Every structure is written in C-alpha cells, then in structure tokens.
Amino acid sequence: MPTLWSVTESFARVIHGLKVGHLTDHVIQRSKRMILDTLGVGFLGTRTEVFHKASEYSKIYSSNISSTVWGRPELRLPPTYATFVNGVAIHSMDFDDTWHPATHPSGAVLPVLMALAEALPPSPKFSGLDLLLAFNVGIEVQGRLMRFSKEASDIPKRFHPPSVVGTLGSAAAASKFLGLSMTKCQEALAIAVSHAGAPMANAATQTKPLHIGNAARHGIEAAFLAMMGLQGNKKVLDLETGFGAFYAHYSPKVLPNLDSHTWLLDQQDVAFKSFPAHLGTHWVADAAASVRKHLVTDRALLPVDHIERIVLRIPDVQYVNRPFPDSEHEARHSFQYVACATLLDGGVTVPSFHKHQIHRPQVRELLGKVELEHPRDNLPSFNTLYCEISVTLDDGTTFTERSDTFYGHWRKPLSREDLQEKFRANVSGVMSCDTVERVIEGVESLEDLEDCSVLTTLLKGPYPPKMISKSI
C-alpha cells in the first residue's frame, strides 16, 4: 500500500472506505431534512413545462431495467434517464437547497440513489442507513472539492456549481451505493470530470434545470462505465488541467485518513427556501417585507402611485440583476422583481412567478422605480451578504430596512414543522394525503428502515386522479 496518496486516490479511499458507523447523529438528522425537502421540490417540479419537455424527450430511451419518474406512474425509464428527469424536476423552479460554498448539493445525488434502489436486484437489500451513507458521501465530495478554490466560496460567475461538483458528487454516491472498489471509485471520478461543467449564461432559462439533471445522469453513467472497466486520468483531481480547469487558483489537498474523518455537513448546514427563486432574493424579500409594514397599515393597499424610488443595496451579482423580467425563470433570478412582488403582495409564493403575475401593470410600474447599489462591504457570498432596501415617497419620506439573515438560512434554520409543511404544500395535488404522511414518516425513520425500497415504493403513488400532467 503506498504511503503517499494523490488527491484523487485520497478521494477514492474516502468514498470506498466510509462506513455507516462513520455517520453522526447530526449528519443523519440534517441529511434527512435535505432528502425530504428535495423530494418535495422534485414532485412540485413535475408540474412544470421544463419537466414535461425533459420527460417527453427521455421517452425515446428504453431498457429491461427501469426506474420510476416521479409523479408519472405510467412512465418508467432506464435508471440513467429517470435520474436525469427527476433531477430536472428538482431544479425546475430553483426551489432546492443551497449550501456554502455555493451549490445545490442534494439535487444531483438523491435521484441517483432513488433510481438505483429501485432498479437493482432485491437481494441484497439496501437499508435506509446504506442510502444515508451514499447520500452523504455524495454531499461530502462536493463540499471538499469546493474548498480547493476561493472562487468557489462566492456566488458563481463562470460555471454553475452543481454542474461541476454535483457531477462528481453523483458519481461518488453511485459508486458507494454500487459497492465499487477503490480503484473503480477513482476511475468514476475521472470519467465524471469529463462530463462536468455548464456555463452561467444559461441561468434564468429553461436550460438551467438541465444542469442538475445532467449532473445526476452523468455521475451515475460514470459509475456504470467504471464498473465496465473504462479508465481515465488517475490524478484528475490533482491537476489544473483536470478538475482545476473549472476554478481559478486551484489548490487541492489530500483528504484526511478515515480514522480522523469529519463531515462537512456537521460543520455547515444548508439553506432551505421558502419560495422558488435564487437564494440571494430571499434577503431582498425579507427586507422588503419589513419596509412594507411602514407603507401598508391594516388592510390598505400599497400606495404605488406615491412611491418615488426604491433602492436595493445588494451584492453585484449580474445574473440576478434583471430589471424587467419577462419569463418565470428570469423573475426567479431578479432582485428587482422579488422586491416589487413582496412590496405589492406582502410575500412571494409559488404562483408569484406565473407570467400573468410578472406582467401586472402595478408590478411593471414599481420595477421602473427600482435602482441598485452595490456597497463595497456587501460581498457576493451566501454566508455574508445582506440586503438593505430604501423606499422613498413623493413627499420625501424614506423608509429603510435591512436583512442580514432570512428564515431558512443556515443561521436561522426552518423548524421541523415548517419544513414538513413546505413538503406538504409542494406535493399536494401530486401525491395522495395518506402517501404524503407516509413519505414524511419514512424519511423521518430512514435510519431504521431495513429496506430503503419501502421509500421508493411510496414514491410510485398512488396519486390523485386529477394530478396528471398539467404544467404550472
């Protein structure tokens, strides 16, 4: 056994070597919250146009081995394409969890494990702890990779992080669940790097959800190809021309030995969103809701005609600077729209991004009054950013409020009850009431399940008769 490990070898050693006994209670509890939330936003996403297009496209693929497409009991696909379509559903509304450094960690990993748990032979059984271990391996690999460059700590400018680290997290989770050898885990990472990467230019379009779907699909494909003996560069994570191609000032480090392993999820929790839009807009909504209390009393309406100017003091994040969004995807990536919708309606919800809501005359009037300022101390990091909003009336009165942390951020986490309520709201009309409660119970007791296929069976339905395939 060599005494000097490459970075890539050390990752393969951790993926292969981590056992259920390494999981801590804290990590188990946090990852179960991530799984429940991801399932909820995924099932909600099955009602979107982009999910419909992705699932229709994937019907051209068939296999003797198949997995369920969420929310579509009549549609089964090969595991790679069930993984792809379910991954698209998860990110179709930008409603999935967000971590620091910035990425959406769960969406590229959970669909892989759900598809494999259903498609693999029933013997040997995979327990709930097996699923939790593979899930956390996939999350851990993403977090470790993002700590190799300061660029990854900031809100992204070049590559969409889930398309980069998510692809390797998917490959790691699949490799763990499939029981690959250390050598084949190493090959799976090398193959996954050649599948990784999608540009930020496609943010705020229907293509962005494909980044998560592709990360999930390409990761599971990398594991399958490694099983078949395909080889790649055995030092792919060590090299600037390897994984380092995605990040400036790339400085990889060998992972610690397994006997001193600590989980990043133990140290850094995720954020859960209360409405489906870019995480940065949640500070804006929080500050705007506070300002609105000065402007609206009792049941009065917002005095739109008397508002002279709205100033948002936020980080300089160009892809979320959209003064007049035209589509739901642009509105989800618009500081300006979320501020105006909150001022006008008192909050932002799933229907807030319907096209007729975006194009209301009062919304467009307010959008024309918004100005952005970028204070030097307001850096583009989900760990430190803030939003300050000032609304000036035509009589010269100005009201200012600031949000440093919103409810749902890792510094102010959603309660267990509110996370479950978010899940219920997201799957209502897609899943029967009885199934909803059984899924919640199944995730809550996941570490006690002897066979995790109990959960995948629940995800097949039954579904309410009225739910099939209307896009929202």
pLDDT, tens digit, for every residue of 164-182? 999 999 999 999 999 999 9
* Residue 468 predicted with pLDDT over 60: no
What is the count of structural domains for the chain?
Answer: 2
235 and 156 both lie in a single domain: yes
26: enclosing H helix or E strand: helix 25-45
Q: Name the range with the highest mean pLDDT among 120-129, 230-239, 461-470.
A: 230-239
**pLDDT at position 429 over 60:** yes
Predicted pLDDT at 148: 95
Q: Are residues 253 and 348 in the same domain?
A: no
For residues 261 and 174, the answer to whether their CB atoms sit within 8 Å is no
CATH of the domain at 44: 1.10.4100.10
Q: Are residues 37 and 93 in the same domain?
A: yes
pLDDT band at 469 (very low <50, low <70, confident <90, very high): very low
Give domain status of residue 458, yes or no. no
Query: Looking at residue 106, what is its pLDDT?
Result: 98
Write the pLDDT tens digit of every residue in 362-405. 999 999 999 999 999 999 999 999 999 999 999 999 999 999 99
Task: Mark whether 108 and 193 lie in a shared domain.
Answer: yes
| C-alpha 382, offset from chain centre | 14
- Residue 85 belongs to some domain of the structure: yes
pLDDT of residue 465: 61
- Mean pLDDT, all residues of the chain: 94
Whole-number pLDDT of residue 472: 44
The stretch 183-194 carries a mean pLDDT of: 98
From 403, 429, 448, the end of a domain falls on 403
Domain around 305: 279-403
Query: Which residues are 390's β-sheet partners?
Result: 311, 400
Boundary (domain end) residue, out of 403, 437, 466? 403
Q: Are residues 189 and 297 in the same domain?
A: no
pLDDT tens-digit map of 317-361: 999 999 999 999 999 999 999 999 999 999 999 999 999 999 999
pLDDT tens figures, 1-45: 445 789 999 999 999 999 999 999 999 999 999 999 999 999 999
Of the two residues 111 and 62, the one the predictor is more confident about is 111
412 found inside a domain: no
Whether 369 is in a domain gets the answer yes
Q: For residue 123, what pLDDT is reported?
A: 80
CA quadruple 128, 130, 132, 138: dihedral sign:
negative
Tell me the angle at which helices 25-45 and 433-444 cross, rounded to the nearest 10 degrees. 160
Nearest Cα to 138, choosing from 34, 242, 41, 235? 34
Report the C-alpha gap between 154 and 267 in whole angstroms: 18
Residue 187 lies in a domain: yes
160 and 298 co-located in one domain: no
Q: Give the side-chain half-sphere CA count within 13 A for 103.
A: 35
Hey, which of 72-81, 83-92, 149-158 has the most confident mean pLDDT? Answer: 83-92
Over residues 100-119, the mean pLDDT reads 96
Judge if 28 and 175 occupy the same domain.
yes
Residue 446 lies in a domain: no
Q: Looking at the structure, tell me whether residues 308 and 347 fall in a common domain.
A: yes
pLDDT at 471 over 90: no
Q: With 80 as the cut, is the pLDDT of residue 467 above it? A: no
Among residues 412, 403, 327, which one has the least CA distance to residue 93? 327
Does any domain span residue 464?
A: no
User: Last residue of a domain, which of 364, 379, 403?
Assistant: 403
Q: How far apart are CA 279 and CA 277, in angstroms?
A: 6
Residues 261 and 384 in one domain: no
Whether 145 is covered by a domain: the verdict is yes
Q: Which amino acid is at 22?
A: H
pTM for this predicted structure: 0.95
| Domain CATH number, residue 375 | 3.30.1330.120
Question: What confidence category does residue 267 fall into, taking pLDDT thresholds of 50, 70 and 90?
Answer: very high
Structure tokens at 69: 């497409």
Closest CA to 184 of 52, 406, 378, 16: 16
Q: How far is CA 278 from CA 142, 144, 165, 287, 337, in A?
A: 20, 23, 19, 15, 12
Q: In angstroms, what CA-CA distances link 22 with 17, 35, 134, 171, 304?
A: 10, 19, 12, 20, 56
Average pLDDT, integer, range 134-146: 98
Residue 461's pLDDT is 76
Q: Specify whether 261 is located in the same domain as 285.
A: no
Same domain, 68 and 154: yes
> Looking at the structure, do residues 47 and 131 belong to the same domain, yes or no?
yes
